[in-house]
Structure 1
Amino acid sequence: MYSQNELDEAVAAGAITAEAAASLRAYIERQDSSSTVDEEQFRLLTGFNDIFVSIAAAILLFAVAWIGHQIGQSLGLSIDGDGPAPTGPLAVAATAWGLALFFTAKRRMALPSILLLLAFVGGVFASVAFGLVLAVGPDQIENNPQLAGIVGAVSGAAAAAGAWLHWKRFRVPITVAAGAASVAAIAVGLLVAALGDTAENSRNLILGFVLLLGIGTFLFAMWWDGSDRARLTRRADVAFWLHLLAAPMIVHPVFTLLGLNDGHATIGEGFVVILLYLAIAVTALAIDRRALLVSALAYVLFAIQQLFEQFGAVQLNVALTALVIGSALLLLSAFWHQARSAVVKPLPPGLRERLPIVNRSSVPQPAGS
């Protein structure tokens, strides 16, 4: 089975013509009773070898991190003597880059590429953060939110630069989301630094700021989606990971500000959560992305469970909650395409033209990725 990215690469290499690739895609689409646009395809596995290599890479990276930590400790570079050392994550980042030169650049393996990208960006972030803490002293940061915010912002900037370099070299779709997360870390770090000693009492302000960053990430994801409305190139994969990042950044602050994380929910709050989840479901249908539904799932499960408990179904509240949500999501999955059509068709033409298409047969194939 050939992925969309492999077809794009075959066209770019001159192995097949763009017309032949388009004909193959059209043929595959005709064999399916539903449009492939609604399948939200993205490349995760090319075979079991992806899992095998990912497990081996994870073991190797763990070993490298441990050895790097021991080296840093022996050199006196550990925080507080026995804490983490910047040499551990630095070794992980260097190893991940070296492995990517083969498994990503040459073998084009999907799952290992994702793992190695996360290890590289996370290693850069952690090594810079640990190095800065070591340089200024952990005691100085412990009671200084302003300095801690600056350290977080600088570490995020280093991670964003690393993500940019990785994207220029390897073009792994999740890299853009990793870079966006790093930029968000910069912004939050600068906000915490600006708030200073009042940061601990400004929880709602920080949550609101994260919500704004999530909306910005969502709009950035929609820009990538809009550049490939038929979802035939790696741009759709980039948008997928951006949506996966934006969803919790939007959902978590909203439901936390509503008080859903305090361990209980009133009947009114429960119904508000359900209405919000319905609005999220309509949005997910319109943009043809299920990440929003998954991110808000824990909150709506908790809210419905509390409602059943309020109405006296204490012994069966968990089972009834699972029954309601599970049945609803399965029905939505089974009739996703029909539900999308019902949501998208009444929208204004200008807005419809920015959303993933419902009927791909009348839209020309995009040229290039």
Structure 2
Amino acid sequence: MYSESDIDGAVAAGAISPDAAMALRRYVATAQAAPAVDEEHFRLLTGFNDIFVSIALVLLLTAVGQIGFQITHALGGAFVAAASWPLALYFTARRRMALPSILLLLSFVGGVAGALAGGIETAFPHIDERAGALAVSAVGIVAAGAAWLHWRRFMVPITVAAGAAATVAVAIGLLMAVIPDVKQGVWPLLLIGGLGVFALAMRWDMSDVRRETRRSDVAFWLHLAAAPMIAHPIFQMLGVFNGEIGGGTAALVLILYVLFGALALAVDRRALLVSSLVYVLYALYSLIRSAGAIELGAAFTALVIGSALLTLSAFWQPMRRSIVGALSQPLRLRLPPVQQPA
């Protein structure tokens, strides 16, 4: 399977003309009876060889990390980062393999962060809470810098999301270091960070509303990073998993999920629905159990939610057309198009 960024790269390399690329997109959209933007393409696998190489990379990097870790904790991460960069020069820059590129990005950024964290742990084994928060911020800054360096060289779409997540960790860590009592409000802080990442994702999305370039792939991963930062704090603050929830809380969870669905339809991204799915499943399960269906509560919950999600998928286009049609004209122009292909 080829992603939009692959087609865009082929056009840039002169392999196909822009008109041929547009004709290909129109053909695929017509064959699927849906606009290409609604398919939310992203490249994860270019073939089974991606899985084969990824398994080998995991084995190799795990072994390298363990060898370094036996010497000192910092060397474990340093060895992983040092091995990931030359591997990325081949598998990412030269072979352009999707899944191995993602793994090598994560191993490089994680290795750099792990090396610094291991060094701090070795140098300051009895670090206090405030200094620990500053150390977390320092690790986050270095991780964000590593992600930026990797992006400048390899431009793997998930890199921007990794850097954004590291930046949120830095901000929260600095606040906890400056104001120790702020740790009591970590969920609202994480929610604010998630909203910031979501805004960044929308900026990338709005720069390519037809989703024909690498920017769409970057936006996809940003949405995937922002969704749990938004959904998890909201439902945690509602106390969804703090024992049995009442009917009012369960109903509020369902209402929030409907609102998330409307937002997902408007921006044509499904990540928020997936991230909050476990909470709505638990809320509906609690409602069904409170109604007396104890033995079949799980089955009824799966039946209702599964049917609802399949219906949403089948009627995504007309439902999205209704949602977007209710928005103002300037806002509609900044969202992916809803019209059917000719």
Q: TM-score, normalised by structure 2?
A: 0.97
1:327 maps onto 2:314 in alignment? no
Q: Deviations over 1:192-215 (max 9, x none)?
A: 11122x35xx42x22111111100
1:138 maps onto 2:138 in alignment? no
Q: Deviations over 1:32-60 (max 9, x none)?
A: 21112111100111000001100110010
1:120 maps onto 2:108 in alignment? yes
Structure 1 residue 110, shift from structure 2 partner: 0.3
1:181 maps onto 2:168 in alignment? no
* Structure-1 separation of matches of 2:340 and 2:16: 22
Corresponding residue of 1:341 = 321
* Structure-2 separation of matches of 1:234 and 1:221: 13
Corresponding residue of 2:174 = 190
The answer to whether the 8 Å contact 2:4/2:41 transfers is no
Output the amino acid matched with 2:125. P
Corresponding residue of 2:94 = 106
* Structure-1 separation of matches of 2:291 and 2:32: 45
Corresponding residue of 1:57 = 57
Corresponding residue of 2:77 = 89
Structure 1 residue 332, shift from structure 2 partner: 0.7
Structure 2 unaligned spans of 5+: none
The answer to whether the 8 Å contact 2:34/2:341 transfers is no
RMSD: 1.4
1:216-295 matches, within 5 Å, as: 216-295=196-275
* Structure-2 separation of matches of 1:48 and 1:220: 33
Output the amino acid matched with 1:110. A
Corresponding residue of 2:8 = 8
Structure 1 residue 360, shift from structure 2 partner: 6.8
The answer to whether the 8 Å contact 1:128/1:155 transfers is yes
Output the amino acid matched with 1:241. W
Structure 1 unaligned spans of 5+: 73-84, 363-369
Output the amino acid matched with 1:111. L
Output the amino acid matched with 2:204. W
Output the amino acid matched with 2:235. F
Output the amino acid matched with 2:113. F
Q: Deviations over 1:296-347 (max 9, x none)?
A: 0011111111111111111111111111111111111111112111111111
Q: Aligned in 2, Cα 1:360/1:88: closer, same or farther, shift over 3 Å?
A: farther
1:19-98 matches, within 5 Å, as: 19-72=19-72, 85-98=73-86
* Structure-2 separation of matches of 1:31 and 1:102: 35
Aligned residues: 342
Corresponding residue of 2:131 = 147
Structure 1 residue 234, shift from structure 2 partner: 1.1
Corresponding residue of 1:78 = none
* Structure-2 separation of matches of 1:268 and 1:361: 43
Query: How high is the sequence identity, in percent, across the aligned residues?
Result: 54
Q: 2:288 aligns with which of 308, 313, 320?
A: 308
* Structure-1 separation of matches of 2:307 and 2:189: 35
* Structure-2 separation of matches of 1:26 and 1:323: 36
* Structure-1 separation of matches of 2:293 and 2:261: 26
* Structure-2 separation of matches of 1:32 and 1:55: 33
The answer to whether the 8 Å contact 1:133/1:151 transfers is no
* Structure-1 separation of matches of 2:25 and 2:253: 41
The answer to whether the 8 Å contact 2:74/2:115 transfers is yes
